[in-house]
Chain A
């Protein structure tokens, strides 16, 4: 393939890049071949009093860790050496929790807004206040109150917190719980669910060692899931060929055999081209298709126009590299495809994922050793339907999606919002903030005086990782248990405690008789057959976690394919490639793309792209770490040298990054890491952060509100860059 990856050293002239690379390397722990850098290592005996098993609250690698405590204070955290997924590694985000736990910026007590000032109140009074507001909504609108209280669901605190919050809302008669899916990977999860019968990752990472080829569709593992790099390294050592598809050159480029760089948002067209080539040349498994796949004829018809020439024109790849890539599926017997979250950031995402599923299906690469499909962030175990049905008032209306909740907030229909996550996770985020500002009563459950705290009327502080126990799930569908390591400061309480207390006040004895995270866990487990084998005892004993589904208390867990018998969980038991509501498989440019000529689009000729960096996860957390701020650079934008020259921009020049919604000030970084005509900017800058490196304008404030049927778009639309002079 001509687009073969360039080998790069780490002698980058840019200090920040060296720092970021060093951070990536540091987190790799003891991985053979990559050196063992001292990061997150244990303190020597005598330097601490006790160790507690915990896990990281950030990404879905869900590194289990050990927290070292001295004099009642967490003083160190390091990767659990027995975790087979991480090999004892962890990344700096998890390490930052030591600093965040004792941050002078922590919110420690409930506070109620009195005019322009905040007044500290006891936790019990805060609960009374919320209960009173929610009951008043029911009294004022006795016939239709179910959509008048909305909850932005707790993220990542623990599974028990999610369950307690859901139970409180549903038993109190309120429907609307906004899960992060609307702004995250809900569209790829939905597509997996329609086509295969389950929204979660169809296989687990250990299968990569049995593959012939692993294909990373926009999965920037080294930056997003750094502890998993060891699997890429180990796979290559075993002879597995790693093919990486990403418009941008990233740290993951260093761990693959081939890096192809299609234009952003064109993965779907590329895969349709591969399908066309395979079908036209009879390079697919006809027997498998006949017995296991519904909708092949539709796919064959839909991809016919996607010739190599056409796909080359759309993607910017060479014809030869497209043909070579098609041959990978034509020749290889065991291919594992790993879909990055970036695939879900476009309005054509569902069709792209549908095409990738079709590609894996018609070549018989969905089930079996060394085969399968993985979805980054796709690990939330299912099986809680029975729990959800049991703990809700009868005939409760289905919950509304985020956009409908937003519309209701804007028309002053929603009267109370329980805000557990950042409004900055959504595109056109200033619109969301404005809508929240119009709500009568907003309760913020958070840790710092963030933008969310500032739009609320009541703050009830939450606990951070080391301060509570609970279960969490990870990208491998694994369930892990975190023990409380230290006492929470002030009156901070975990989400499960807060929602349990609130539920009791609202619902009295109808609320389940549970009083700890462990009891909530067992309450849910006993309702679900697929959780029977996930006993608390077994989960607590495993450093790597126990993998869902697990039907029996003894024996193997759900490791490997989710469909081990080759039977899918669709009603037909087959792969369903027809998605009725979407119509035939089709590819279209992302909404707002500069490649679509629409009125007003000509002023925004560059393609916008954004993403995470290794030292930051989501809003409201790592932005409050001074440790992370050392490696952060505020708002900047990567621009290709050709584009920069055309715009008269040089390295470090200040510039306006502008979209149809507005503009933010950035610093220019001229680099071939991005393609000509494309810009990339990091998503972390937070206007409320107290640290210079982390502080900046929120990029979601200028991302237009384009949506597909399920999720929001964050990449692929048009923008422009203008040098700031004078």
Chain B
């Protein structure tokens, strides 16, 4: 019985940590960006670092990819950047803005 309670307590504590971490991450993110979004086609490495969960290393990879390959057309294209996962995109999508030029299909 005791061990069951112990397990329950551990699980509860674990869940609380997960929830609180999520909340605190959200709070930190809101605090960092203050309701603003980052345009993925213009942001600098420093600006990308304002987005929660984007490290300096990942920010550099995003900017390098964009400079080499042109504007992102949809946010899902960020998945083409090495180290950018679907899970990460789902978590930070709300902080990202997409304004850029997409190439029209050739008319020749």
**B70 contacts A by Cβ under 8 Å:** yes
Closest A residue, CB atoms, query B106 = A181
Greatest chain A CB density within 10 A among B74, B76, B80, B108 is at B108
Nearest B-chain residue to A406, judged by Cβ: B69
Once A400-B80, A404-B80 are accepted as A-B contacts, the answer to whether A200 and B70 lie under 8 Å apart by CB is: no
CB distance from A414 to the nearest CB of B (A): 11
Q: Which of the listed residues B41, B68, B107 has the most CB atoms from chain A within 10 Å of its own CB?
A: B107
CB–CB B105/A581 < 8 A: no
Does A514 have its Cβ within 8 Å of any Cβ on chain B?
Answer: no
> In chain B, residues 30-64, which have Cβ atoms closer than 8 Å to a Cβ of chain A?
41
Closest to B76 in A: A397
Query: In the complex, are the beta carbons of A404 and B71 less than 8 A apart?
Result: no
Considering the complex, which residues of chain B in the window 77-95 have a beta carbon less than 8 Å from any beta carbon of chain A? 77, 79-80, 82
**Which residues does chain B contribute within 8 Å of A341, judged by CB atoms?**
108
Name A's interface SS: loop
In the complex the two chains form, is B107's CB within 8 Å of A709's CB? no
Q: Quick check: B106 and A189 within 8 Å, CB to CB?
A: yes
Contact with B along A364-388 (1 / 0, CB 8 A): 0000000000010111100000000
Q: Does B101 contact A (CB under 8 A)?
A: yes
CB of A431, distance to nearest CB on chain B (Å): 12
The answer to whether A710 touches B103 (Cβ under 8 A) is yes
List chain B residues, Cβ under 8 A from A199: 104-105, 107
Contacts of B106 in A (CB 8 A): 179-182, 184-186, 189, 377, 380
Provide the residues of chain B in CB contact with A185, threshold 8 Å. Answer: 106-108
| Number of cross-chain contacts by CB at 8 Å | 102
Contacting pair A401 B76 (CB below 8 A): no
Question: In the complex, what residues of B have CB within 8 A of residue A180's CB?
Answer: 106, 108
Q: Which residue of A lies closest to B80 (CB)?
A: A404
Give the size of the chain B interface in residues (CB under 8 angstroms).
23
Dominant SS among interface residues on chain B: loop
A419 → chain B closest CB, angstroms: 17
- In the complex, whether A10 has a CB less than 8 A from a CB of chain B is no
| Cβ-based interface call for A193 (8 A) | yes
The docked-state distance in angstroms from the alpha carbon of A341 to that of B108 is: 10
Can you list, as one digit per residue, whether each of A387-405 has a CB less than 8 Å from chain B (1) or not (0)? Answer: 0000000000110110110
**Inter-subunit contact B68/A709 (CB<8 Å):** no
Bound complex: CA of A403 vs CA of B64, how far in Å? 13
Residue in chain A with minimal CB distance to B74 = A398
**What's the minimum C-beta distance from A240 to chain B, rounded to whole angstroms?**
25
The CA-CA distance from A562 to B10 in the complex, in Å, is 70
Answer yes or no: A711 CB below 8 A from chain B CBs: yes
> Which B residues are CB-close (under 8 A) to A404?
69-70, 77, 80
In chain A, positions 164-194 with a C-beta closer than 8 Å to chain B are 179-182, 184-187, 189-190, 192-194
CB-CB under 8 A for A379 and B108, given A397-B74, A707-B70: yes
- CB atoms of A401 and B69 under 8 A apart: yes
Query: Are B105 and A403 closer than 8 Å at their CB atoms?
Result: no
Residues of A bordering B, CB below 8 Å: 60, 144, 147, 179-182, 184-187, 189-190, 192-194, 199-201, 341, 350, 375, 377-380, 397-398, 400-401, 403-404, 406-408, 411, 579-582, 707, 709-711
Closest 9 CB pairs of A and B: A181-B106, A377-B108, A710-B103, A380-B107, A403-B69, A199-B104, A189-B104, A186-B103, A190-B104
26 residue pairs bridging A and B, Cβ less than 8 Å apart: A147-B80, A181-B104, A181-B107, A184-B108, A186-B105, A187-B103, A190-B102, A200-B107, A377-B107, A379-B107, A379-B108, A380-B105, A380-B106, A397-B76, A398-B74, A398-B77, A400-B77, A401-B70, A401-B103, A407-B68, A407-B69, A408-B80, A582-B101, A707-B70, A709-B71, A709-B100
